[in-house]
Chains A and B, each alone.
Chain A
Amino acid sequence: MQLRRIEVRDFRKLQHVVVEDLRDGLNVVVGDNEAGKSTLLAALRTVLFERHRIGGKVAQGMMPFGQTVRPEIRLDFDLGGERWRLRKAFCQKPEAELEGSRERLTGDAVEERLAELLGFTPPGAGGSKPAEHQGAYGLLWVQQGTAHESLGVGAGRDSIASALETEVGQVLGGERGRALLSAAEKRRQDFWTKLDKPRGAWKDLRDEVEALETERAELVRRFEAHDGKVSELASRQDALARHAHEDSLGQAQRDLGAARRAMAEAERLDQGLREAETRGKLASAARDAALDRRNARLALIRRAEEAARAWNHAQVESRSVAGLLAAQAAASEKQAQRLRGLREELVSAGAQVGHLEQALRRGRAREDLRRLETQLSGAEEADRLRREALNVVRSIRITPATLREIEGLQQRLDRATAQRQAASVRIDFTPEQGRRAQVDGRAHDPATPVWLSQDSDLTLEGYGRLRVHPGGGARDLVQQSEEAERVLMERLHADGVADLAQARSELQRRLAGEQEAQAQLRLIEALAPQGLDALRQEVESQRALLAQPNADPNLSTKASSEAALDAARLTQRSASQAVEAAEAEAGQAEATRVATDRELATLEGRAAGLARDNEALARELIEVRSAAADEALDRVLGQAEAELREAQAEVARARAALDASDPEIVRLELRRAEKAEEAIRADIDRLTRGKRDLEVELSALGREGVGEALAEAEGKLELRRRQLLERGHEAEASRLLHEALTGAQRESKDRWLGPVRERVRPYLRILQPDADVVLNETTLEIEGFRRGDREEAFHDLSIGAREQVAVITRLALADILRGSNRPSAVILDDALVNTDEGRLARMHLVLHKAAENLQVLVLTCRERDFRQLGAPVTRIR
């Protein structure tokens, strides 16, 4: 369809607009946003697709705001080589008219004819919607502001699909193919979930088989348990039958009776033995008592005899010890006498030694005193001299230091004097004999000159007064000199000397005194090393010693020599030794005597005791014999022993009888028989009880019919397994079929979309080499955009890229429709507003290329953008 002329009157904001002389190829219609270029597109849609009798909101929407008018639209177009004129008026007095070269239609027939000519589906009621009702025109006529959105193929799909099918054949299999695919899909869904897990009846069957297997396993277990119980029951029955057959319990009971009888006999013999043993014990006790009594008697006799013997012996002993004691006492007295003599000798020897020692000490003390006195007098003399020297030293104030100071002061005075003299007037006196001179009123030795440094009056005897005025400048020197003299004199005075020479001699004296004191001190130290007082004390003590009276005035000092003392000491020592020896001997003798004395006392005591014992025993013996004579005791003993022998013989007889009956064997046999009887009875009881229990249990199990249930479960399981196998095959087949169909369909669709890609490619090459548009094979919507190896989702592209890709795809689809002899104009209402200048220039080339075969109407408010497009421009106002 090529549009040729559009005239719109009273439609929305358009009062009257005519766009004419539309050519094949590119056409540009320019109008401001307010001028109504988009309304022009709406008018175009309205005249073609809205029923002229449309009312309600759609009709209302056609009215200019606030007016009640009759919107009218005229459209001239070429289709199928014919020129058609269409006119529709809406709302008030709706009208429709379609005029071709061979026909003219009015009213509703117009609508039908239009739908037939243009291949769209008129809406049942209400307004026509581009995607639903306007076929390919919904796709190719792009409203302002939607260019970057998805294509909105909608109802255009069928047109394109049929166009594609004429080109590549019926690759999709048509309606029948779709039906088979949906049947296959349904089949598959009967068996498989979306995640390829079994479902539905098949899954139920699998679950049932599983449940049946579990059930069967449980039944098998119970069946086997049942079988086991039956075997157990049989074995118990057999065992009971064996007991009955062998009469095992009867036999055991018979054995037990015999064993019990044997046991009673053995017990009787045992009792007899115990009684004999008791009798034996009694006889043995009687014999022991008789024996004890007789032995006690014999012992008493023996003790009495021994006591008599011991007493005699003790008496003899006492007597001999008493003799010994008397001898020892005499010897001891003799020893004591000798000791006394020796002690006296020792005392006199000691006195002699004492005297000699005292005499010797006095002699030595006198000598010492003399020597000490000499030393003391020497020392005292030296001390006196030392003190004198020290007194001298102390009286002298001059020390080497003070002397050095005095010498210093003297030198200063001398210097000052010399200076003064140099500046003074020297007056030498040479008086006449006897004449005196005075200076300033004081007598002056005329032999000495006078230095005058100040005005002075000299009175010369015989002459009178003479006043001297020395020259200036000496005054300070005189003062210095007088000051030096005054200092010197004060110093000398303080040190107690008149002048320097005296000071020097005083110092000499002082040093000599100090030396003297030092020498005397050394002498004292030599004579009295301990000090003078110690020496004086020693002298005093010696004098006191000698002042004591002499102990033996007869003893001459000469006789008391050391030798005499030694001899006296020797004598004393030997006397002392003799005394010690005698003392030891006397002690020994006394000790022996005391011991003997004590022994005698003991012996005498013992002898007395023995005498008492002897008497008591003798008395006791007499008493007991009077009660029972010794012979009587012997007789009783013999009788008891005979009785004991008899009793023992009886025990031996009883034991022999018991042993002969073999009681251990009897006891063991009884135990065995008891145990055997007990065990057999218990076994029979247990078996009987077990048998009864099993019978009860089995009859309960029988009611359930485990065998029947098991056989049934097994049969059922087998059946279900077979069915499951079959179902499994069906499931596999359903999947295989579905996969085969979908795979084949996918491949076919790839082939199907081939022509669209072919058409897109030349346009896309102008905009972007190496690029491709990816379409959804079912909806034909753009899914993505591929550049090289990289594919981007459509909605991820920039708005500009999206509108460019969408415009190109629409152009390609329009090409396909043209190829199927359904040429259609493409209308782009400001479809490239988001495209930059560079791309826009390229898109102009794209539009030119499309316009080679298609009619393209560009509606735009930007005239400048399309001025260079090279297409006729129509302006609406």
Chain B
Amino acid sequence: MSFRFIHTADWQVGKPFAHVAGDSGAELRSQRIRTVQRIAELATRKGVDAVLVAGDAFDSNEVADKTIYRTVEALKPFGGTWVFLPGNHDAALAHSVWTRARTMGLPSNIVIADRPEPIDRWDGRATVLPAPLRRRREVVDQTDWFDDAPSPDGSCRIGLAHGSVAGRLPDKGDSANEIRDDRAERARLCYLALGDWHGALRIAPRTWYAGAPEPDRHKANDAGNVHLVAIDGLGAPERIETIPVGHFAWTRLSVELLGRCDKAIQALESLEADPRACVVALSLRGSVTLSERNRLERALAQWEARLHHLDVDMSGLVDDPSADDLDALDTAGFVRLAVDRLRAKAQDPADPEQAAARMALRMIYLDHLRNREG
């Protein structure tokens, strides 16, 4: 009488990652569909009854037809029931990815839960109660109807919803698409499968976010997994297995430098994941000498090649040319005169060209090094 299913959400297939240029960006895009396929394969391997997708399977209702098509193709490895709940990104509007998917001729194992109606496809073992969003922002709790929804006796009542649980999520000032935190209890649910929050999280009794299976942002939350959920019977506690399926590791590194750049390089070296699957945002602060800066830039150029994507923010990093730096340039002649003037500008916070002067010093220093190296 047990019911096992995979709870996942927030695939956001079609997300463009356009700020990641070139092939790396394209790779991030196509990986999302590969991860979907990986979920389908996992479902087959685990022999689950269903895969419940708690909203935002697509990044928007306006993704290209071919994106929908490729996603449906990726579902094929699992022939069991897929239940898709429209979320805020792919709300069940008059015209949506769902209406478009239907016109493409979906296989019968794919259920689009775009109406608040119980779904019973498992011989009375379980009843899925979906709370589809039919607007991007619903002001009324769409799960209200769960409380009085009928279900066969002895059937596991499983809620499927998309939104934020009132007052429980950090960083969520948004009051749209709110869900009561006691919905599972009020509606006698065995499990309330939620989407919208990209990290895996138990937010209330029997109430879970599965998180995004493929991370898509530098946020230190537990993304990259699906939940394998087992309900052993009515009233039995849910058993959750968190299974990683994500490919890319999105990491944010923040390092403060003082004169030398070693700490930045060390931070990159200490990355755990395969560098080729790392999408790193490196934020540097503090100050470095010109020679160190040169070293840092060479090192970063190497890391850029090794990592899938490296985004360096050096806006907080200041050049602090040492006396040696400048002496290396020239001790006399007009170059020294120019350098002294640029340096005075670089050190004067009131000078509108302070930043440009810093960069100019960096440039001449690099030119000098290059000339020296021939």
A interface list, Cβ under 8 A from B: 169-174, 176-177, 179-181, 183-184, 187, 223, 226, 229-231, 233-234, 236-237, 694-695, 698-699, 701-719, 729-730, 732-737, 740-741, 743-745, 747-748
Residues of A within 8 A of B61 (CB): 230, 707
Assess A180 versus B335: contact at CB under 8 Å? Given A705-B14, A715-B18. yes
Residues of B within 8 A of A231 (CB): 94
Residues of A within 8 A of B333 (CB): 170-174, 177, 748
Assess A180 versus B368: contact at CB under 8 Å? Given A711-B59, A737-B360, A745-B334. yes
| Complex contact A719–B332 (CB within 8 A) | no
B330 beta carbon closer than 8 Å to chain A: yes
| Complex contact A173–B334 (CB within 8 A) | yes
Of the candidates A702, A718, A729, the one whose C-beta lies within 8 Å of that of B359 is: A729
Roughly how many angstroms separate A713 CA and B16 CA in the complex, as a whole number? Answer: 9
Interface of B is mostly: helix
| Complex contact B335–A177 (CB within 8 A) | yes
Residues of A within 8 A of B359 (CB): 729-730, 732-733
| Complex contact B62–A223 (CB within 8 A) | yes
Assess A705 versus B63: contact at CB under 8 Å? Given A715-B19, A740-B341, A740-B342. yes
Interface residues on B, range: 35 or more
B interface list, Cβ under 8 A from A: 14-21, 25, 59-67, 93-97, 99-100, 103, 329-330, 332-339, 341-342, 345, 353, 355-360, 362-364, 367-368, 370-371
Q: Can you identify 5 A-B contacts, CB atoms within 8 angstroms?
A: A177-B334, A180-B335, A180-B367, A711-B15, A741-B334
Residues of B within 8 A of A706 (CB): 62
| Complex contact A748–B334 (CB within 8 A) | yes
Assess A705 versus B67: contact at CB under 8 Å? Given A729-B355, A733-B356. yes
| Complex contact A707–B353 (CB within 8 A) | no
Report the minimal beta-carbon distance from B290 to chain A, rounded to whole angstroms. Answer: 13
| Complex contact A173–B335 (CB within 8 A) | yes
Roughly how many angstroms separate A719 CA and B93 CA in the complex, as a whole number? Answer: 31
| Complex contact B65–A183 (CB within 8 A) | no
Residues of A within 8 A of B64 (CB): 702-705, 708-709
Roughly how many angstroms separate A39 CA and B371 CA in the complex, as a whole number? Answer: 49
Residues of A within 8 A of B66 (CB): 705
Assess A170 versus B363: contact at CB under 8 Å? Given A176-B371, A229-B95, A736-B356. no
Of the candidates B334, B339, B345, the one whose C-beta lies within 8 Å of that of A172 is: B334
Roughly how many angstroms separate A710 CA and B25 CA in the complex, as a whole number? Answer: 15
| Complex contact B60–A708 (CB within 8 A) | yes
| Complex contact A708–B363 (CB within 8 A) | no
Output the nearest chain A residue to B361 by Cβ-Cβ distance: A737
| Complex contact B62–A184 (CB within 8 A) | no
| Complex contact A715–B332 (CB within 8 A) | no
| Complex contact A712–B16 (CB within 8 A) | yes
Of the candidates B21, B63, B330, B368, the one whose C-beta lies within 8 Å of that of A719 is: B21
Report the minimal beta-carbon distance from B168 to chain A, rounded to whole angstroms. Answer: 29
Roughly how many angstroms separate A748 CA and B334 CA in the complex, as a whole number? Answer: 6
Nearest first, the 4 A-B pairs at minimum CB distance are A707-B62, A715-B18, A705-B64, A173-B333
Output the nearest chain A residue to B342 by Cβ-Cβ distance: A740
| Complex contact A744–B338 (CB within 8 A) | yes
Report the minimal beta-carbon distance from A342 to chain B, rounded to whole angstroms. Answer: 135
Roughly how many angstroms separate A734 CA and B358 CA in the complex, as a whole number? Answer: 11
Residues of A within 8 A of B63 (CB): 705, 707-708
Residues of B within 8 A of A176 (CB): 330, 335, 368, 371
Report the minimal beta-carbon distance from A712 to chain B, rounded to whole angstroms. Answer: 4
Of the candidates A171, A711, A736, the one whose C-beta lies within 8 Å of that of B357 is: A736
| Complex contact B16–A702 (CB within 8 A) | no
Output the nearest chain B residue to A171 by Cβ-Cβ distance: B333
| Complex contact A705–B337 (CB within 8 A) | no
| Complex contact A736–B360 (CB within 8 A) | yes
Roughly how many angstroms separate A226 CA and B62 CA in the complex, as a whole number? Answer: 9
| Complex contact B18–A702 (CB within 8 A) | no
Report the minimal beta-carbon distance from B74 to chain A, rounded to whole angstroms. Answer: 17
Of the candidates A237, A702, A718, A733, the one whose C-beta lies within 8 Å of that of B360 is: A733
| Complex contact A716–B95 (CB within 8 A) | no
Report the minimal beta-carbon distance from B282 to chain A, rounded to whole angstroms. Answer: 15
Roughly how many angstroms separate A173 CA and B337 CA in the complex, as a whole number? Answer: 10
Roughly how many angstroms separate A255 CA and B370 CA in the complex, as a whole number? Answer: 94
Of the candidates B17, B97, B332, B371, the one whose C-beta lies within 8 Å of that of A183 is: B371
Roughly how many angstroms separate A177 CA and B333 CA in the complex, as a whole number? Answer: 7
Output the nearest chain B residue to A212 by Cβ-Cβ distance: B18
